[in-house]
Amino acid sequence: MTTRRTVLADAVRRLAEAGVASPEHDAAELLAHVLGTDRSRLVLLDDVPAPALEQYVALLDRRAAREPLQHLTGVAHFRHVELLVGPGVFVPRPETELLAGWAIEQAVSAGSATGRAPVVVDLCTGSGAVAKAIADEVPHATVYAVELDESAHGWAARNLAGTGVDLRHGDMASAFDDLAGTVDVISCNPPYIPLDAWESVAPEARDHDPHLALFSGDDGLDAIRVLEARAALLLRPGGVVGAEHADRQGASAPGVFAATGRWTEVRDHRDLAGRPRFLTARLAR
């Protein structure tokens, strides 16, 4: 057997040399995964058995090659829910929890104001992360979600099974005609990376996430423009929409909404690192 301390130290050094952004966290997560425990309990283990070490080294090879951590463990944690993830679906980012939190607050507020179950739509649902979080934290809400990519839709179907979310396979540009004018809250984490920013994207996303979930035209705003038009159709007067965007789009993404004259309270919100992260707007009454 090899000691846990030695194994982790070697793993952290290797992941750091490979350019992994969080080598300590990822090394511990992978070791906990192969040992069938969690990171907080690793300190209770002194040694790593040889079979587990062999499996661990194989996973480290893949992580050092910049395969996403969540693809190696098969799960991603998002707010209070767990998601199945793997090749063919965008791995939810911690920053997106802020958008989900905003949508949850707005759904609760809408329900309180109207005295009925709030209607929430999650466009470009991907793995179903935001929709599942909303259904989990606002159980009285009526939640809908849509995803265009066939593989991602399959992951969403697994993650949203048993949640009551009405998941559909289709394009957000034409989804939910049956809900026109009735929706209280729309959330969306659309693709927003400009096509010319290919080299700036982290290998974990660029080489493993579906490109449909990443890139959105020359300026990265094509999907935001589609969202603006669709949200205007789906929301009830006074309904709200929130959408994630790139940190360089703190002015341009809200500008898409402001320019149409259909929206009030167009605002941008920063993430915990102080970077522009998502916009919100209210449909004029």
Binding-site positions for substrate:
189-192
Nearest partner of 125 among 233, 198, 212, judged by Cα: 212
**Rg over CA atoms, the chain:** 20
Cβ neighbour number for residue 246 with a 10 Å cutoff: 18
Tokens of residue 282, six digits: 């209210």
Measure Cα distances from 40 to 10, 28, 43, 101, 104 in Å. 19, 9, 7, 26, 29
Which residues contribute to the annotated binding site for S-adenosyl-L-methionine? 147, 189
Residue 135's H or E segment, with its range, is helix 129-137
In angstroms, rounded to a whole number, what is the distance separating the alpha carbons of residues 32 and 38? 5
Q: Cite the annotated binding site by residue number.
A: 147, 189-192
| Amino acid (1-letter code) at residue 189 | N
Sequence-distant (6+) residues with CB within 8 A of 35 are 42, 45, 48, 52
| Token pair of 44 as six digits | 């209770």
Query: How is residue 135 written in tokens?
Result: 């259904």
Q: Are 168 and 156 in contact (CB under 8 A)?
A: no
The rounded distance, in Å, linking the Cα atoms of 278 and 280 is 7
Instruction: Specify whether the CB–CB gap between 32 and 41 falls below 8 A.
Output: yes
Among residues 285, 247, 284, the alpha carbon closest in space to that of 269 is found at 247
